[in-house]
Every structure is written in C-alpha cells, then in structure tokens.
Chains A and B, each alone.
Chain A
Amino acid sequence: MDLINALVAITNYVIIPATAYGAQLALGALGVTLIYSILRFSNFAHGDTMAFGTGIVILITWGFQAMGISLGPLPTALLALPFGIIVTAALMLGTDKVVYQYYRKVRAAPVVMVMVSVGVMFVMNALTRFLIGVDQINFDDGARFVINARQWREMTGLSEPLTLRSTQVITVVTAIITVAALFWFLGKTRTGKSMRAYSDNEDLALLSGIDPNRVVAVTWIITGALATIAGTLYGLDKSFKAFTYFQLLLPIFASAIVGGIGNPVGAIAGGFVISFSEVGLTYAWKKVVTYLIPNWQPDGLVQLLSTDYKYAVSFTILILVLIFKPTGLFKGKIV
C-alpha cells in the first residue's frame, strides 16, 4: 500500500504536471523552431504572439459564452480557437508585410531579423495589453477534472491524492496531434517540402519555381496557429496573463534548442526534458521516503536542490546537452 502511495505521489506531483507543462512548452517550441528553420531567425516575438492569440480566443470565448454557446464538458475556448487562429494568422501576415518582408528583400543578416523580432515583440506586447489588459484571466469552463482528489480517494481508498485535469489531457492530446500533423505536412506534402527547400536555399527555391511569398505566408499562418494553440492550452491549464507569456519565452527557447532547433521532433522532446528536469530534480523526496521506509522520519526535506534553483537546473542541463551534443538531442540546424 505504501509503495503504491509513493508511486501515486510521484505521479501526482511530478509525472502528470511535468507532462502537461512539457507539452505546452513543446507546442511553443514548435513555433519557434518553425520560424527558425524556414525564415532563419530566432523569433523573440513568439511569446507575445501566443499572448495575442490567446487574447483573441478569450474575447471570442466571452462572446460565445454571452450567446450561451458551449461545448459541454469541453472548454468553450476550443470552439473559439479556430477563430483565434484566423485572426492571429492574419496579424502575422500583416506583420510580415509591414515589417519582415523588407528584411528578406535586402537579405538582412539573421541577427538583424532577431532584433526586428524584438521590435515586433515590443509592439505586440503593447497591442495585447491594449486589447485585453494586463489582468489575470481565467477562461476555463467545462469540466475541470477527469479525476479529482476526492474522487480518487473514494475510488481507491489511498491516502495520497491523484488528480488529472481535463486541460492536461487536452494539452497532451493536442500536442501529439499537432506535431504529427506538422511532421506529416513538412515531410510529405509538396507545400511542406517547398518550405524546407526555401529554408535551405532561397535563391534555388526561386529557380525551381517555388513562390517565396507563398512559402512565407504559409509559414506565418502555421506559426500563428501554433502560437494560438499553445497559448490557449496554456491559458486553459493555468491562466492567462500577458506578462507570463513573455516570460515563457525563455523555457520555450531552451526546449527548442535542447531538442535541436529547427527540428520538430526535437522541439517536442526538448519541452519534456526541460519540464521534467525542472520538476523532477528539485523534488523533495521526504514524502516518498516516509512511505517507503516507514520507521524513518527524515528531518530534512530529502531534496537535492531547493526550488530556488530550478531554473538553474534546467539551464545546466541545457548547457550539458549542448556541450556533449552540440546540435541538440535531435540534430538541429545552424544558420
């Protein structure tokens, strides 16, 4: 029984949350990775794009809620998501027209593009706040739990709780579907291949009759969609706050790079590496130990590192990975 309790504790506090968080990071990292591999720059505006997309989804969700439309046990936001994606993608296309297009034309160095994206980040940052303000917003409706602590205890009679939120399940499922779809798209479809061709050698793509404008447009549309999906799932699971989305940028980049930037599978793997190392390595084993060795009451927390340094842990791992596998876990590309 105690063994099961120990397992349940680990599942509840480490495995489930880290999986959901990892999937959220992964979706964010996918967007970053895509822009990196096709348009060849690190897009620092991605976090704010996520915030913007989510902001739109929230507004539409409110609209639906006001009209009394809902999805039953699923959050209404899922219904609003496609509309949010359309608006965000449109914004992406607009931004590209107004801003990025010029730099491609003059073939600006990637770092100039990075700086441009910082500029866009500032602007989007303001835009999102004009749109929906700075407050924390919860827009999750529908059934919150698949299993909650009380149900679990009644069901199993265990003393340790175990909960599974519907948003966690939705996040993971969506992440799997999205990455599969993206992978298929890039690897198998003609448009997808033309995008890779463009990313490899822009001039030659031109010479093969590939329309660069189309490639760029498709890239931005997908990115907009990925950002909106990632942002919405994250917001559903935790909550929406513009500032947090900017802060997410760092772990997202870390994920993309640990996995091997430019590589979709890498982005997914990276998300999980980062999330599991954050949660796992700072876990206090006290509870588990007490279950396993019943007669021992440790006076400390049996914790390798205090949570103060959880970011240090994930970045140390990042650096170690890079030193021993310089292109990330899965081979990424370097511009």
Chain B
Amino acid sequence: MSYLNASEMTGGYGKADILHSCTLTVEKGEIAVIVGPNGAGKSTAMKAVFGMLSLREGKVTLDGVDITGLSPQDRVKKGMGFVPQVNNVFPTMTVEENLEMGAFIRDDDFAGTMEQVYELFPILKEKRRQNAGELSGGQRQQVAVGRALMTQPKLLMLDEPTAGVSPIVMDELFDRIIEVARTGISILMVEQNARQALEIADKGYVLVQGANKYTDTGQALLADPEVRRTFLGG
C-alpha cells in the first residue's frame, strides 16, 4: 500500500463533477508531480486529497489509515501539509508570524526549522517584520512554501509552488524539495513548470478533465513526444 493513496476520487463543487475517478498515489520519500492543462482539475484534486472538497466517491488513505472523513485540520495533525495555489499567506501578519502559524500544531521548539526556512529563502529573513500582504508576488510564494515546511509534514502538497518565482529561487526550491524528499517525506505537487518538475519527479500524473490520462515515471513522461507536445509546450 502506498503512503498516500487517493483512489477513484469523484466529486466537484456542487454542480457537475470536476473529478472523474481520479487516482493519485505517493510512496514514502517519493516526489509525485501532477501536470495538465488549465482547468483540468489539478487544484481540485489536491483539495480533495486534503479534505477541502466533499467526495461523492472514492477514498483517501494515509499510511494505510482511511482519512476520507477527516477535516483538513485533522489531516494536518496526521502529518499532511498543503500550500494552496492562491491565497496562501496571512496578508496582515508578518512573515515571521506566518511561519509561526505554520508551526501551530507543533509543541516542540521550532526555532531550528525557522532558521532552515530563512536559509532557504534569505529574502524572508530580511523581510520578517513586514506584513506578508506587502510582499511581491514571488516573495509571497516563498512565504507560502516556508509556512508549509514549518509544519514538518510527512506528506507535503504543493499547488504550483514556483508560479511567479524567479528562476534562481525556483532552482533553489526544486533543490530543496529533492532534499526534503530524501529525508523520507513524500511530496505531491502540481506544476506548470512541468519540464523542470518532471525532471525531479519519481512519478508523474497527467490530468485531463478530471481523469488520469497518463501515469508514469517523470522521465518517461518527459520522453513521451505526445505528452511533450500537448502538455509540456513542445
């Protein structure tokens, strides 16, 4: 059984279904990347995995435990961390407070983790007394990822973490993601910078209209000319 196993998810926002029996699995320490056209339901699938969307069918298990019925904050306690695509910072709290909030469920001392985040994103240290709402787009994105890292999750879910960040930071970010995965944390992320993402992915999903279209290793997907042409921009 995979570490995260979201199988046959079907559901949507009320009217028509967005997801059609979509399945996502991630092993321990593995990086799984979801790619696909805009509006394919990638974010929706992420939300479904995190319990922010009620599923009509399908179930989600984490480490063998069925968590389909749990609320998002309970999933956080089970070791899941999530960076949403939009609205992913606390705008009128300072950068530092944003990070603190990431560590909300932790009872231990999180100063070390915070240092690590600052190391990863030096600009955040500089701006730590500034409200996140006043940051530039890319800076915010860094805060968002930093916040999720503060949780020290066992499964980290990232919805387009590199949208709007500069190449140098993007590299750093991917770098760090690899490192994180190496420590045994599972990563599930949605990316539009698909080529770079698949490069580091152990597993890739191509989602189209809420259903799994291709599933393979990252490298294999990159090599597939059809996938390249239709989804990765040639």
Contacts and interface: CB of A to CB of B under 8 A. Distances in A.
Interface string B82-110: 10100111111100010011101100000
Contact of A197 (B50, B71, B84, B90): B90
Interface stretch (B59-67, B72-80, B198-206): B72-80
A201 B89 contact: yes
A5 B84 CA distance: 67
**Chain B CB within 10 Å, residue with most, of A193, A196, A201, A333:** A201
B151 interface: yes
Given A194-B104, A209-B77, A204 B87 contact: yes
Determine chain A's interface SS by DSSP, over half rule. helix
A203 B52 contact: yes
B147 interface: yes
A203 B151 CA distance: 16
Contact of B84 (A199, A204, A211, A333): A204
A190 to B, nearest CB: 7
B90 A204 contact: yes
A57 B55 CA distance: 48
Contacts of B91: 200-201
Contacts of A205: 90, 101
Contact of B73 (A199, A200, A210): A210
Contacts, number: 68
A110 to B, nearest CB: 16
Given A190-B104, A208-B101, A208-B104, A200 B90 contact: yes
Contacts of B52: 203, 206
Contacts of A212: 73
A206 B52 CA distance: 10
B73 A197 contact: no
Nearest to B98: A197
A67 interface: no
A119 to B, nearest CB: 26
A207 interface: yes
B90 A201 contact: yes
Interface of A: 190, 193-194, 196-197, 199-201, 203-212, 333
Interface of B: 50, 52, 71-73, 76-77, 81-82, 84, 87-93, 97, 100-102, 104-105, 147-148, 151
- 8 interchain residue pairs of minimum CB distance: A209-B76, A209-B105, A200-B90, A197-B101, A206-B72, A208-B104, A208-B101, A207-B82
26 contacts: A193-B93, A193-B97, A193-B100, A194-B101, A196-B93, A196-B97, A197-B97, A197-B101, A199-B92, A200-B91, A200-B92, A201-B87, A204-B87, A204-B89, A206-B73, A206-B76, A207-B72, A207-B73, A207-B81, A207-B148, A208-B101, A208-B147, A208-B151, A209-B77, A210-B101, A212-B73
